[in-house]
Structure 1
Amino acid sequence: MAPPPENGTVGRRGTSSAVFAFGDSILDTGNNDHITTLIKSNFLPYGRDFPGRISTGRFSDGRLISDLIVESLGIKYFLLPYLDPNLQDDDLITGVCFASTSSGYDPKTPKILVVISIPYQLNLFQQYVGKLRNLVGEQTSNDVVENSIYLSLLYFNDVLLTSLFHTRTKSSLEMASYAGFLAGRASAFLRQLYGLGARKIVHLSALTTGCFPAFRTLLGGVQRQCSDESSELAVMFNEKLSDEIQRLNDDVSILDLS
């Protein structure tokens, strides 16, 4: 991996002025390091491939999708967590991460795992906008909010907890109902984000998680087999979320690049 520029930024290109991320560990660049929770990754081997070989709170050896996207847009080399007390002015102007590892759309998920819920991530974004307005003025702040790209990815932890405690006793109808519930929560989040000024929203599709190591270890028995039920639930969620996003696109100009 090529080393980052000394200041951690790269030249900007395109029309997007900043990137913001909401969700869970797939996008969380370290917010959990700054809250009281057991869900942390501030120790090795996490970060062994990150510049400087340091653990940063990312649940990864190196950078995350959120970091790679912000670099691909020519904005900066990595996306810092909003709760990082060392954030600089330029970090705020070019975007930050609000995601929290182990969060989910189901309100019970962040409560059980003691992490930042999606409603509170939105509250942090509103707090951020206030800081940005004080920093650059209302007009520039509005321009940043409107012209930025918003990344969102949640679902993994909802499925994991549901699979651990409920999926094997649920009928297909009940699983479809739960997938619909999660898609409805996702739709509500997207509407709220749009209402706060976001216009370029990228909601990534849920992965078919049944063969992920965590699912195979916790649900696969001695043979660590894939959890077909978990993957089926992910497929249901994606289908229902696609329908929800289509309805949203009929109402507002939400950009879906899933």
Structure 2
Amino acid sequence: MENTAIKVLLVFLALWFSYVQAIQNGGFPAVIAFGDSILDTGNNNLLMTLSRSNFLPYGRDFPFHLPTGRFGNGKVLSDLVVAELGIKDLLPAFRSPLLKSSELSTGVCFASGGSGLDKTTASIQGVIWVQDQVVDFQKYIEKLSKEIGDPAQVKKIIANAVILISTGNNDIAITYFSTPARISRYNIDTYTDMLIGWKTTFLQSLYDLGARKFAVLGTLPLGCLPGARQMSGNLICLPHVNYGAKLYNQKVSSLVDKFGQNLPDAKFVYIDMYNPLLDIINNPGQYGFTTAIPCCCSVMTPVPCLSSASHVFWDFAHPSEKAYKAVLPKIVNTIRNNLA
């Protein structure tokens, strides 16, 4: 009996702390992330896939130099967003065996490196398709309900959490432009329309489960990623790939506006990732970088560089932690101004 009373008291105190913290953070009790490697904090670690990063030199600038499965030298964008909002320091991976129950109420990450809206994107890499991430979200809600024991409180947390989404990068860069079968069957306009159809289903699924505050990221300037630029000898960005990214982003922005107008009690905001990162790539010195050549893990840099802080990119496709931090203030301000 005494143990039960203590447990009830601890749950009450945890909920009260979360409530006070949410008020301080503009009403956001949690961040819940979906999508790809821009946000993935380690969900691929136990999968049979080559799309993993739980080994050095990945994570060499992470606390204690741990390779946690994040696709970068340190923290990734989802970590930085949840910290900048004042919620907690890191966003844990939902599939991590080390996930603590106490972390559930302040958010988790479902994103999977290499994933996308097109089921083929996830299948060819053996990672977690975004619709399967929705299934994980359902399991998360069940676990959160058991932890808190109050359906109304669970509903409130989900409704006020920032739903952070990054999808489309791998669909366009890998599944479309690197797959002859896709290019021969669809033009880029038709394929991006298909992506928007899948994204519509995905967003509606999250809304139906109680999510109400959506921060939807556009893709990076995919033709300017090191892996794309090496196709031209690192001389220029690939214009046809960037065209596909811009076309998709325009459609995502329109979809976000449509959802925001049509779904009751929901707030949606589109977050431009393309132009801020492109400006850093084109003007690295203005942001404290010396080069847009990746620090490690690419044909151009088989031996890791000494200082990742001087590089816009960590590897062939992923920005360095410092590059994420350069675009972070605008992202967080957009979230606060539009979703609070």
Deviations 1:63-95 (A, max 9, x none): 011001101111110001001111112211111
Aligned to 1:69: 81
Q: Secondary structure at 1:256's aligned position in 2?
A: strand
Whether 1:104 and 2:116 are equivalent positions in the alignment is yes
Count residues in correspondence.
246
CA distance in 1, matches of 2:165, 2:247: 18
Give the alignment's Cα RMSD to 1 decimal: 2.1
SS in structure 1 of the partner of residue 44 of structure 2 = helix
TM-score, length-scaled by structure 1: 0.90
Partner SS for 1:55: coil
Distance in 2 of aligned mates of 1:221 and 1:256: 35
Distance 1:224 1:55 in 2: 32
Match of 1:42 in 2: 54
Structure 2 match to 1:183: 196
Distance (whole Å) between structure 2 residues aligned to residue 169 and residue 199 of structure 1: 36
* Aligned-pair identity (%): 38
Deviation of 1:180 (Å)? 1.3
CA distance in 2, matches of 1:205, 1:23: 11
Partner of 1:51: 63
Q: What is the CA–CA distance in structure 1 between the aligned matches of 2:206 and 2:215, rounded to whole Å? A: 11
Measure how far apart 1:120 and its partner are.
Answer: 0.5
Partner of 1:7: none
Q: State the shift of 1:167 in Å.
A: 9.5
Q: Does residue 206 of structure 1 match 2:184? A: no
Amino acid at match of 2:89: Y
What TM-score, normalized by structure 2, do the two folds share? 0.69
Secondary structure of residue in 1 paired with 2:40 = coil
Identify the range of structure 1 (220-229 vs 84-93) with the bigger mean alpha-carbon deviation.
220-229
- Which residue of 2 is the match for residue 144 of structure 1? 157
1:236 corresponding residue in structure 2: 247
Cα distance between partner residues in 1 of 2:141 and 2:96:
16
| Aligned residue number for residue 3 of structure 1 | none
Q: Distance in 2 between matches of 1:238 and 1:202?
A: 14
Kept in 1, the 8 Å contact 2:53–2:68? The answer is yes
Q: Which runs of 5+ in 2 are unaligned?
A: 1-17, 272-340
* Aligned mates of 2:177, 2:212 — CA distance in 1: 34
Rounded to whole Å, the distance in 2 between the matches of 1:167 and 1:114 is: 19
Residue by residue over 1:91-140, the C-alpha shift from the partner in whole angstroms, topping out at 9 and shown as x without a partner, is 11111000000001111100111100011000000000001101102122
Looking at secondary structure, tell me which structure has more helix per residue.
2
Closer, same or farther: CA 133–169 of 1 in aligned 2, 3 Å: closer
Consecutive unaligned residues of structure 1, counting only runs of 5 or more, are: 1-9
| Runs of 4 or more consecutive aligned structure 1 residues displaced over 3 Å after TM superposition | 166-171, 221-225
